[in-house]
Amino acid sequence: MPFTALGLAPPLARAAAELGFTTPTPIQHDAIPAVLAGHDLLATAQTGSGKTAAYALPLLHSLQATDARHTPRRVRALVLVPTRELAAQAGEVLRSLAQHLPQRPKLAVVFGGVSINPQMMALRGGADVVVATPGRLLDLVQHNALRLSDVQLLVLDEADRLLDLGFAEELDRVLALLPARRQSLFFSATFPPEVQALAGVLLREPLRIDVPSAPVEEAVILQQAYRVDTNRRTELLRRLIKTQGWQRVLVFVATQYLADRVASKLHQGDLYATSFHGGLSQGARQQALKEFKEKRWDVVVTTDLAARGIDIEQLPVVVNYDLPRSAVDYVHRIGRTGRAGESGLAVSFVSPASEAHWHLIEKRQGLSLPLEVLPGFEPTETAPPSAPGDGGQGNGGIKGKRPSKKDKLRAAAAAAAADGHKPD
Ligand code: AMP
């Protein structure tokens, strides 16, 4: 089915085709007509489902149909996202999709961690669409650079992640500045009670869309687990990359320090490897991401910062060098591969100390993978004695789907103590 059949203007369908989007994904198929009809939306959507275009296309279409006059500080559509990377990415999608519209909307992408002045300049004369992280958006409101009382369309992208990152208070403040009469679109990968509560206050008789295609369920991701001693993981990683011919590998580790250390060890070992984490400057992060997308790096070693919201196309291999803290994080990490119908490989390293935690992740995922051992890498470490509530990296368990705040603090303290550095 072509995009025009969903009611979109031909210039939008043309821009979508130029991005390689010829057929709508399931979420686009359901969301686009609903948004064009003016409904609020409550959508369960993972990164990789095509959710960005699912809101970007009808948003751009609707803007064409309404009064385009810019008045100072006026914003017509607001897209709230949890991270700078997602802001940049959503901005890119909106810009590309808008390129053939007769009246090109004015787009501003704003996020923290960089100077506010250029963003204030960009907002002069108002903007049709603002893509923002909540903290910087409020700073800009405070600086009188924009006002939110004319927002007609609000998009909350990755609402669960917004709350995870502690943006609840900022969100409340932003919502208080929005007009009551508006259309709201709410996207979240998961729906824990706090996300449901937020949706409850935000949406009016929303249409509910569930795309039941979590990456794990799509079965296009081949999952493997290797047993290995903790101190031989880098060696195993290098061996697998070389012998399996892996190209473009995303490796997840527990701390920023480890990301730098593993990347530098691989680099010394003849691989183009770099690290990517929250301790790098915004410029360095964007540069690393850009270069990785341009296929200039073989390996990027990262923390959970990159587990969500970052769109690296056709990423063939994800490695859990350190296991994720929860089964939910496991899904998000391995969702970095096998995207948009591509097949992918997700490999987890399981040390004697993390084996019990691995089995919990497996159980929650309904998985049962053979624990493989590469000849020459037979584990020799012994598992430490069980420590209740140790955040999951040892023999302790994960209690709920997500670790509690206390678990997170404990895990962070343990990681920091182990590495002598700050976790991400
Ligand atoms: P998202 O879930 O928005 O992060 O999109 C995931 C990936 O799917 C991105 O690489 C998009 O470029 C791609 N994509 C989105 N919509 C389509 C479509 N209709 N056909 C093919 N690829 C798509």
289-330 pLDDT tens trace: 778 777 788 898 988 876 555 555 557 899 999 999 888 788
What does the pLDDT average to over 382-406?
Answer: 50
Distance CA 223, CA 231 (A): 22
Span from the CA of 93 to the centroid of ligand 1 (angstroms) = 10
Read off the pLDDT of residues 24-43 as tens digits, 9 standing for 90 and up: 999 999 999 999 999 999 99
Q: Which fold has domain 221-372?
A: Rossmann fold (3.40.50)
Residues with Cβ < 8 Å from 413, sequence gap 6 or more?
Answer: none
Between 341 and 349, the more confident residue is 349
Alpha-carbon torsion angle 186, 189, 193, 196, nearest 10: 20
Does the C-beta of 335 come closer than 6 Å to ligand 1? no
Distance CA 390, CA 131 (A): 38
Q: Token pair 């203007």 is at which residue?
A: 9
Q: Which residues, in sequence order, are bridge partners of residue 318?
A: 250, 346
Q: How many helices (H) and strands (E) does the chain have?
A: 16, 14
pLDDT band at 386 (very low <50, low <70, confident <90, very high): low
Distance CA 62, CA 202 (A): 20
- The gap from C-alpha 271 to its chain's centroid, in whole angstroms, comes to 26
Closest CA to ligand 1's atom 18: 21
Q: Token pair 């821009």 is at which residue?
A: 15
Does the C-beta of 341 come closer than 6 Å to ligand 1? no
The mean pLDDT value of the chain amounts to: 84
What does the pLDDT average to over 244-249?
Answer: 88
Reading the block at residue 294, the tokens are 């341009």
Among 276, 286, 222, 281, which Cα is nearest to 253's?
A: 276
Closest CA to ligand 1's atom 13: 50
Backbone angles phi, psi at 134, to 5 degrees: -60, -40
Low-confidence winner among 116-120, 153-157, 243-247, 402-406 (lowest mean pLDDT): 402-406
What does the pLDDT average to over 366-394?
Answer: 75
pLDDT band at 409 (very low <50, low <70, confident <90, very high): low
Whether pLDDT at 173 is above 60: yes
CATH of 3-210, one of 3.40.250.10, 3.90.1150.10, 1.25.40.420, 3.40.50.300: 3.40.50.300
**Helix, strand, or coil (residue 318):** strand
107, 131 contact by CB (below 8 A): yes
Share of the chain above pLDDT 70, in %: 83
Span from the CA of 68 to the centroid of ligand 1 (angstroms) = 28
Reading the block at residue 346, the tokens are 């997700």
Alpha helices in 233-392 (DSSP H): 233-244, 256-268, 282-293, 327-334, 355-365
The reported pLDDT for the residue numbered 69 is: 60
Share of the chain above pLDDT 90, in %: 54
Does the C-beta of 338 come closer than 6 Å to ligand 1? no
Whether pLDDT at 281 is above 60: yes
Read off the pLDDT of residues 176-194 as tens digits, 9 standing for 90 and up: 999 999 999 999 988 888 8
Closest CA to ligand 1's atom 17: 21
Reading the block at residue 45, the tokens are 């959507």
Q: Which residues, in sequence order, are bridge partners of residue 351?
A: none
Does the C-beta of 322 come closer than 6 Å to ligand 1? no
Strands 299-302 and 273-276: parallel
- CA 320 to each of CA 225, 229, 249, 336: distance values in angstroms, whole numbers, following the listed order: 9, 14, 11, 12
Closest CA to ligand 1's atom 16: 50
Q: Token pair 């509560």 is at which residue?
A: 197
Determine the residue of 3, 25, 46, 97 to mutate for testing ligand 1's pocket, defined as the one with the most ligand atoms within 8 A of the Cβ atom. 25
Span from the CA of 35 to the centroid of ligand 1 (angstroms) = 18
Does the C-beta of 46 come closer than 6 Å to ligand 1? no
Question: Which of 216-220, 378-382, 396-400: highest mean pLDDT?
Answer: 378-382
Among 292, 311, 309, which Cα is nearest to 301's?
A: 292
114, 168 contact by CB (below 8 A): no
Span from the CA of 211 to the centroid of ligand 1 (angstroms) = 14
Q: Where in the chain is the domain with CATH 3.40.50.300?
A: 3-210, 221-372
Closest CA to ligand 1's atom 15: 50
Read off the pLDDT of residues 69-127 as tens digits, 9 standing for 90 and up: 656 678 999 999 998 889 999 999 999 999 999 989 999 999 998 899 999 999 988 89
Does the C-beta of 24 come closer than 6 Å to ligand 1? yes
Read off the pLDDT of residues 301-311 as tens digits, 9 standing for 90 and up: 988 876 555 55
* DSSP 8-state symbol, 363: H
Distance CA 378, CA 396 (A): 24
